[in-house]
């Protein structure tokens, strides 16, 4: 399929490349509507920002040397309804332009005026004059919620009548002046209108739709299913009508549904505290959501005043507002944490102690529904349009053992040649339903004799297929697959197209041919995942070291010829990681077998070891913490991060899941040495994340022995 791009699933680039100071002026607390979902719950007539107060604020921002100034600035005007004070906004903007020019501040030209309005009085003369006098520097978004029925359900006048007809009359004029972009909010009562509302906006020429659900505790049982179904119907509409590369809708984003990584933990959900908001009283807030009119339980969170400036002792809190301090254990370890955003001001209001370090979690089930719908959208986009979600990875995976005679794809060597049991279609569907519910990436392990019913394509699910090269056919209905090759099938590699990655199984007795096999496979693939089947204490480390050096020579040659570093997992992985990843079995991966039960991995099933549950009752792993990296004592003393640390191999040789046998450790040290050798040659050309160091040990157990611990008989 021809590669294309998608817009539904992406965010528009930020103005100013992110280096922007956002300044909010709360010009009035009054509003001409009474929207039912509005977070401003304490609107008030007569509370209006004085021009003199705004001027003081601008002078302070331009002159105080304590304030860090970004390259650009956004002047954000909000209410109530900000355009009730269009003349005041124009006066404030004029003063800002004059003063920034007089101060020779770069903000004089690097500024934007941003206003979000309900659109009721958009055509008024004062509003149109404001637009005309700031053409090219002003951006106005009108909030219209889609269909008339949906809009009028929430966005009403004080007497309870809907505002759709009044606002809709101004849409034509607005679209002549600005790109069609709006914000839509959904609450419990109007979820059922989601799909038709987004489509209605697109049909009006409003192609950029930022949509979200409210953060408040309003959600009823079953709302998440309505939300998910509406999003899936919208996904079908987008793909069927080829809108995926034309429009925008923020409910679909390619990064949501992944776990947090280390970099994410130092971020937070919004810019509160990095932005500033000025209230009519002259008090300064970290965001308008911290102003009293948005709060129901706590006092307004003031961090300064136009007369005294910012209290940087109070403001320093927001430099530390990060996920790793704001989220509890459940959220931090959530496998789909990304995209589950929250309002810091609302979370402060809902917190138990008035802290900024507690996240409100009312939308948890709604986020899960959104992730399932996003997975559905991107699966269909891939299967029907050949467009794959970019840079996405899953935290958890569910291995489907389709046949007893499945092909080996890791350290365990499955020697069964005939499948006694296999998965029927109904069993596969039940497994896929479980995987969807638990946010697990399905991986199908095929046998050399693929059954006809295992050739079925599931177009609304992203599945990776592991296929032995003997069974591969170009006409297979699979889009995402990896080929499994062993030493005896190297002669078949010419029949397959070039691959991103190939799984290569080899036995110890074939070690002398390892480098030759790798050289053949590197002609077909950018990456080789090597598995030594049934590793034993008889492993010949000297031969392995020589073979790895030959592989290094080939990697260097390819790099010098092409400028591209091809990858061999046992050599190159350690150069790009700084912690053990190893075997995921029992931690982020489990297997579903043909007997309908779950196992730690396929090896545990094939060896008739104890199951860990079934689809009906779920998964229960005894001492599950032992399957996690934190409870791997030898690994925590070792920096051979590429080590596979096979859980099955551990258990069979040491009787413990989390303790590696010495020969597995020693093999990993040989690999680390080869990686160090490659790194020394290429480090001036390639920026490696990790540069391995040879500490002389061949087994991490020596760290304990060298520390003169009471070693007893060992």
Give pTM, 2 decimals: 0.93
Token pair in block for residue 392: 């996405």
Q: What is the pLDDT of residue 708?
A: 65
- In sequence order, the β-bridge partners of residue 577 are none
Please identify which residue in the block is written with the tokens 């919208």: 234
Per-residue confidence band for 419, with pLDDT thresholds at 50, 70 and 90? low
CA 137 to chain centre: 33
The pLDDT tens digits for 44-96 are: 777 999 999 999 999 999 999 999 999 999 999 999 999 999 999 999 999 99
Region(s) of the chain under CATH 3.20.20.70: 7-178
Token pair in block for residue 645: 């640390």
Report the pLDDT averaged over residues 538-558.
97
DSSP labels, 497-513? PPBS-EEEEEEGGGGGG
Report the pLDDT averaged over residues 207-212.
96
Between the alpha carbon of residue 519 and those of residues 469, 515, 544, 682, the distances in Å are 17, 6, 15, 19
Q: To 10 degrees, what angle do helices 51-63 and 86-102 make?
A: 30
In eight-state DSSP terms, residue 389 is P
Q: To 10 degrees, what angle do helices 514-522 and 541-562 make?
A: 20
Share of residues in the chain with pLDDT > 90 (%): 90
Burial of 425 (0-12, 13-18, 19+ CB in 10 A): exposed
The pLDDT tens digits for 556-575 are: 999 999 999 999 999 999 99
Strand extents, DSSP E, 500-627: 502-507, 527-533, 567-568, 589-592, 597-599, 613-614, 618-619
The pLDDT tens digits for 655-685 are: 999 999 999 999 999 999 999 999 999 989 9
pLDDT at 103 over 90: yes
Q: What is the mean pLDDT of the chain?
A: 95
Bridging pattern class, strands 618-619 and 481-486: unpaired
Q: Cis (ω within 30 of 0) for the bond into 80?
A: yes
Q: What is the pLDDT of residue 3?
A: 53
**What does the alpha-carbon distance between residue 301 and residue 461 come to, in Å, rounded to a whole number?**
46
Share of residues in the chain with pLDDT > 70 (%): 98
pLDDT at 2 over 60: no
Report the pLDDT averaged over residues 313-333.
96
CATH number of 7-178: 3.20.20.70
DSSP labels, 297-364? SS-----EETTTEE-HHHHGGGGS--HHHHS-HHHHT-TT-TT----HHHHHHH-SSS-SS----TTH
pLDDT at 423 over 50: yes
At a CB cut-off of 8 Å and minimum separation 6, what does 517 contact?
Answer: 487, 490, 504, 506, 510
Nearest to 605 by CA among 422, 374, 351, 481: 422
pLDDT at 653 over 60: yes
Report the pLDDT averaged over residues 474-488.
92
Q: What is the pLDDT of residue 90?
A: 98
Q: What is the pLDDT of residue 14?
A: 84
Plot region of 270 (φ>0 → left; ψ -120 to 50 → alpha; else → beta): beta
Between the alpha carbon of residue 524 and those of residues 423, 496, 520, 552, 562, the distances in Å are 32, 8, 7, 17, 15
Q: How far apart are the first and last CA of the chain?
A: 60
DSSP labels, 147-198? SHHHHHHH-B-TTS-B-HHHHHTTHHHHHHHS--EEEEEE-GGGGGGHHHHH
356 in Cβ contact with 321 (< 8 Å): yes
Q: Coil, strand, or helix at residue 632? A: coil
Q: Coil, strand, or helix at residue 84? A: helix
Q: What is the pLDDT of residue 1?
A: 42
Report the pLDDT averaged over residues 528-552.
96
**What does the alpha-carbon distance between residue 81 and residue 166 come to, in Å, rounded to a whole number?**
15
């Amino acid at each position: 399929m021809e590669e294309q791009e998608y817009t539904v699933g992406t965010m528009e680039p930020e103005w100013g490349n992110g280096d922007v100071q956002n300044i909010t002026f709360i010009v009035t607390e009054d509003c001409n509507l009474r929207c039912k979902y509005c977070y401003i719950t304490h609107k008030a007539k007569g509370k209006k920002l004085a021009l003199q107060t705004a001027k003081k604020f601008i002078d302070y921002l331009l002159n105080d040397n304590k304030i860090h100034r970004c390259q650009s600035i956004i002047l954000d005007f909000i209410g109530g309804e900000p355009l009730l004070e269009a003349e005041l906004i124009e006066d404030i903007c004029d003063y800002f332009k004059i003063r920034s020019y007089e101060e020779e501040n770069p903000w004089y030209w690097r500024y934007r005026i941003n206003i979000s309005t309900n659109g009721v009085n958009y055509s008024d003369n004062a509003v149109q004059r404001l637009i005309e006098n700031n053409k090219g520097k002003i951006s106005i978004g009108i909030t219209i919620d889609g269909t008339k029925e949906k809009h009028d359900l929430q966005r009403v006048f004080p007497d309870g009548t809907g505002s759709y007809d009044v606002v809709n009359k101004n849409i034509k004029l607005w679209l002549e002046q600005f790109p069609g972009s709006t914000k839509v909010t959904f609450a419990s009562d109007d979820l059922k209108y989601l799909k038709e509302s987004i489509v209605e906006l697109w049909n009006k020429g409003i192609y950029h739709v930022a949509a979200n659900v409210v953060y408040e505790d309003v959600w009823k049982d079953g709302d998440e299913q309505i939300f998910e179904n509406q999003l899936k119907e919208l996904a079908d509409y987008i793909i069927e009508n080829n809108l995926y590369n034309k429009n925008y809708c923020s409910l679909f984003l390619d990064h949501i549904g992944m776990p947090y990584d280390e970099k994410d933990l130092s971020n937070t959900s919004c810019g509160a505290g990095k932005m500033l908001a000025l209230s009519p009283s002259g008090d300064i807030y970290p965001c308008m959501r911290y102003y009293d009119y948005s709060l129901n339980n706590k006092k307004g969170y003031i961090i300064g005043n136009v007369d005294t400036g910012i209290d940087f002792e109070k403001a320093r809190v927001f430099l530390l507002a990060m996920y790793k301090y704001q989220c509890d254990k459940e959220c931090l370890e959530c496998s789909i944490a990304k995209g589950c955003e929250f309002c810091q001001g609302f979370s402060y209001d809902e917190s138990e102690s008035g802290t900024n370090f507690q996240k409100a979690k009312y939308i948890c089930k709604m986020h899960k529904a959104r992730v399932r719908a996003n997975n559905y959208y991107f699966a269909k986009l891939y299967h029907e349009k050949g467009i794959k979600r970019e840079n996405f990875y899953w935290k958890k995976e569910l291995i489907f053992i389709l046949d007893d005679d499945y092909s080996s794809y890791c350290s365990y060597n499955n020697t069964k040649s005939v499948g006694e049991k296999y998965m029927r279609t109904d069993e596969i569907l039940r497994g896929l339903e479980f995987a969807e519910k638990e946010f697990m990436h399905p991986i199908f392990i095929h046998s050399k004799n693929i059954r006809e019913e295992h050739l079925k394509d599931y177009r609304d699910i992203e599945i990776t297929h592991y296929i032995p090269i003997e069974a591969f056919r170009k006409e297979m209905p699979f889009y995402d697959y990896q080929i499994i090759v062993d030493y005896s099938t190297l002669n078949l590699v010419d029949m397959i197209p070039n691959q991103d990655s190939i799984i290569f199984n080899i036995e110890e007795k074939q070690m002398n041919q390892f480098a030759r096999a790798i050289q053949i496979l590197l002609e077909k693939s950018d990456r080789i995942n090597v598995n030594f089947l049934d590793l034993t204490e008889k492993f010949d480390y000297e031969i392995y070291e020589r073979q790895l050096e030959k592989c290094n020579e080939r990697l260097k040659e390819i790099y010098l010829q092409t400028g591209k570093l091809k990858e061999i997992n046992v050599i190159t992985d350690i150069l790009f990681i700084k912690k053990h990843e190893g075997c995921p079995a029992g931690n982020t991966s489990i297997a579903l077998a043909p007997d309908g039960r779950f196992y730690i991995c396929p090896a545990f099933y094939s060896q008739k070891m104890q199951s860990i549950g079934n689809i009906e009752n779920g998964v229960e792993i005894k001492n599950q913490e032992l399957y996690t990296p934190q409870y791997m004592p030898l690994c925590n003393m070792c920096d051979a991060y590429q080590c596979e640390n096979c859980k099955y191999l551990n258990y069979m040789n040491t009787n413990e899941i989390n303790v590696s046998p010495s020969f597995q450790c020693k093999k990993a040290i040989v690999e680390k040495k080869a990686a160090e050798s490659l790194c020394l040659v290429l480090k001036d050309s390639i920026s490696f994340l990790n540069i391995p160091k040879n500490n002389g040990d061949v087994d991490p157990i020596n760290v304990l022995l060298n520390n003169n611990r009471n070693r007893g008989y060992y």
